[in-house]
Amino acid sequence: MDSKQAGHCPVTGHGQTPLADMTLSNPKIGAQPNAYYQAMRVEDPVHYDEKLGMWLVSRYDDIVTVLRDPLTYSDKHGYAAQYASGFFQEFKAILERDGGGFFPDAIKDDPPAHTRVRRLLDKAFTAHRVATLEPGITAIITRLIEQLADKAANGQVVDGVNDFAIPLTISVICEQLGISQFNSGKIQRWSSAVTAQIGRMQNREQMLDNAAQICDLQNFIIAEMKARETEPREDMISDLVHATLDDGSKLTFAEAVSLIRALIIAGNDTTATAIGNLLFVLATRPEVATALQASVDDERLMNRFVEELLRIEPPVRGLAKMTTREIELGGRLLPKDAHLLVLYASGNDDETQFTCPRNFDLNRSNIGKHVAFGVGVHRCVGASLSRMEIKVAAREVVRRLADIKLAVPVEQIRYQPTVAVRSIERLPLTFTRR
Amino acid sequence: MRGIRVVLIQNDGVARTIDNAAIGVSLMEVGRAEGVDGILGDCGGGCSCATCHVYVDAEWQQRVGPPDDVEIATLDMVSHLQQSNSRLCCQIVLTPELDGLKVTVAPAE
Ligand code: HEM
Ligand code: FES
């Protein structure tokens, strides 16, 4: 049924690939995973990836089942088993020695402990609050685009990821947190180092490098917190340092460090990836560029454009959960302590939910049904903020730039070696000013 | 202060009556705390997830009022379920005037 259905779609991007011997930890598959996802959904929806030692959850319905039952499918244990996999004790000792301590992620806990801190973060980026940030975000983005346009006008190739998307998301989150002096390259290295801990593809040498980066990050956070302990400012770090939770308690020091770290890191690579994908899609799919051009003055269509971009190219592809008891999922009996990788990207590609999933279609009636931000109690707290950043970037890029083209053959575009995200490493582009 | 009465009709047809809903909190928080089926409130009232979607009873529509622009944008993400009386109930803050409010929970999908 699926291949027949796909046969009627102008864009399929699927294909029959045998599941045997495939693993998401193979960088080739990780870079072009859709055929693998589809094969899993059809042949073996909860598929054991030997090499990763994880069960890959590939169907939309099963993904939602997992995410809606956080006590059976534990985020805390799934994350802990993924974190610094293979080197955890050594990694932890380094952080304790050089990084002020090992601070487990308070937000990656299970209810009810999760609920306590989550209510605090829920208030940080409501859609209404983010709407008030639009002018400031627009100013950051137009400044960056103008710089790029100058560079391109001089005949230089521009890197859409490292010269644009990454500095953009870093500036936005630093402004929110109240970090006025920052080195964007440094924050990018910190982000990569943290993200690598759930990527499953670092060797020991890389782990040592990454651990050193994370120590640096934590020492930076601790200094920022100390500066606000006696003299609070009007910013989010101060809010977290001084927060009182709904139950009247305060955050512990360790919790506060972990939450600030999460806010710096969780939104950078992810939103930057989405904006890199935006530029990639504009450079490679003329029909999408045309659709965006036609939508640019229509708020509703712009919002839909962002959702469809996140559906078709979700930055976060797979995060871990762990079963806390024996349970049947997708026709498969999983033991207790089964380590799962929830494939948001495959859920968004599921043809039983999204007609012709590889088509970019702004008019989908269920456009918000995608799981790029997850579902349930752990649904992304930064969704509104990242949507705004992507929307403004899309609008200002289309208004100001034309003839966006890849400066290298598409086969040369490489993706970060990690199972957690699908992120373009470098995106050489040429374009002109409109 | 004494609370108000609100009624949420679940998809299974069961009417959940909450007799002492606190003034000043949102209908989503009340529904979620009472475990009303279909009021998930994933984003905690941030108007970004549309998992608190309800249809406001005709006689209450005027007093509840229409959604603002931000809410309209989020409702558009579930346009397949949207009706003229759709609201995201995390944006409905309970006031004494809403005593007796009746809504129907929108289907999940
Ligand atoms: C396009 C950009 C983004 C994508 C695709 C994305 C995706 C996700 C996903 C898939 C989850 C996990 C859901 C689960 O556990 O099932 C998540 C959680 C989270 N995200 Fe995002 N995110 C983005 C941007 C942001 C931003 C800008 C921030 C911060 C300002 C942020 C902060 C967080 C935090 C703190 C969590 C943990 C929430 C929890 O476990 O309760 N994210 N995000
Ligand atoms: S709780 Fe998320 S929109 Fe109402």
Nearest-angstrom CA–CA distance, A183 and A384: 25
Q: What's residue A2's pLDDT? A: 38
Nearest to B46 among A126, A303, A377 (CB): A126
Q: pLDDT tens for residues A64-116? A: 999 999 999 999 999 999 898 899 999 999 999 999 999 999 999 999 999 99
pLDDT interval class at A432 (50, 70, 90): very high
| Domain interval for residue B94 | 4-98
Q: What's residue A13's pLDDT? A: 59
CA A125 to ligand 1 center in whole angstroms: 12
Q: What's residue A15's pLDDT? A: 59
Chain A nearest-CA distance from B45, in A, is: 8
Distances (CA, A) of A432 to A139, A149, A153, A292, A427: 20, 7, 7, 17, 16
Q: pLDDT tens for residues A224-266? A: 999 999 999 999 999 999 999 988 999 999 999 999 999 999 9
Q: pLDDT tens for residues A305-338? A: 999 999 999 999 999 999 999 999 999 999 999 9
Residue B64 is assigned to a structural domain of this protein: yes
Domain ranges of chain A: 3-433
Closest CA to A417 of A269, A202, A179: A202
Q: What's residue A10's pLDDT? A: 65
Chain B nearest-CA distance from A299, in A, is: 8
* A17 has a pLDDT exceeding 90: no
* C-beta atoms of A368 and B77 within 8 A: yes
Nearest residue in chain B measured CA to CA from A387:
B48
Q: pLDDT tens for residues A355-408? A: 999 999 999 989 999 999 999 999 999 999 999 999 999 999 999 999 999 999
Ligand 1 contact via A327 beta carbon (within 6 Å): no
Closest CA to A245 of A258, A232, A255: A255
* C-beta atoms of A119 and B80 within 8 A: no
CATH number of residue B24's parent domain: 3.10.20.30
* A3 has a pLDDT exceeding 80: no
Chain A interface with B: residues with Cβ < 8 Å: 118-119, 122-123, 125-128, 131, 299-300, 303-304, 307, 365-369, 375-377, 379, 381, 383-384, 387
This prediction's pTM = 0.95
The closest residue, in CA terms, to atom 36 on ligand 1 is A380
Q: pLDDT tens for residues A157-200? A: 999 999 999 999 999 999 999 998 888 999 999 999 999 999 98
Which ligand is nearest to the Cα of residue A380, counting in written order?
1
Point out which residues pair with A327 in neighbouring strands: A334
Residue B107 is assigned to a structural domain of this protein: no
Ligand 1 contact via A73 beta carbon (within 6 Å): no
Nearest to A379 among B42, B73, B76 (CB): B42
pLDDT interval class at A16 (50, 70, 90): low
Q: What's residue A386's pLDDT? A: 98
Q: What's residue A162's pLDDT? A: 95
Domain A3-433 has CATH 3.40.50.300: no
Nearest-angstrom CA–CA distance, A47 and A222: 42
Nearest-angstrom CA–CA distance, B51 and B47: 9
Number of domains observed in the structure of chain B: 1
* A6 has a pLDDT exceeding 60: no
From start to end of A13-72, where are the E strands? Answer: 46-49, 54-57
Count Cβ atoms within 10 A of the Cβ of residue A344 and give its class: 0-12 exposed, 13-18 middle, 19 or more buried: buried
B-chain CB neighbours of A368 within 8 Å are 50, 74, 76-78
Nearest-angstrom CA–CA distance, A344 and A379: 12
The closest residue, in CA terms, to atom 3 on ligand 2 is B47
Nearest-angstrom CA–CA distance, A231 and A233: 6
What ipTM does the predicted assembly reach? 0.95
* Mean pLDDT of chain B, nearest integer: 96
Q: What's residue A181's pLDDT? A: 84
Residue B108 is assigned to a structural domain of this protein: no
Give how far the C-alpha of residue A138 lies from the chain's centroid of Cα atoms, to the nearest Å.
21
Q: What's residue A246's pLDDT? A: 87
When scoring A362, A366, A388, A390 by the number of chain B Cβ atoms within 10 A, the one with the most, hence best to mutate, is A366
Q: What's residue A4's pLDDT? A: 39
Nearest residue in chain B measured CA to CA from A371:
B49
When scoring A369, A386, A388, A391 by the number of chain B Cβ atoms within 10 A, the one with the most, hence best to mutate, is A369
Nearest-angstrom CA–CA distance, B10 and A123: 27
pLDDT interval class at A20 (50, 70, 90): confident
Q: Which residues, including other chains, have CB under 8 Å from residue A338's CB and lie 6 or more apart?
A: A55, A322, A323
CA A270 to ligand 1 center in whole angstroms: 8
pLDDT interval class at A12 (50, 70, 90): low
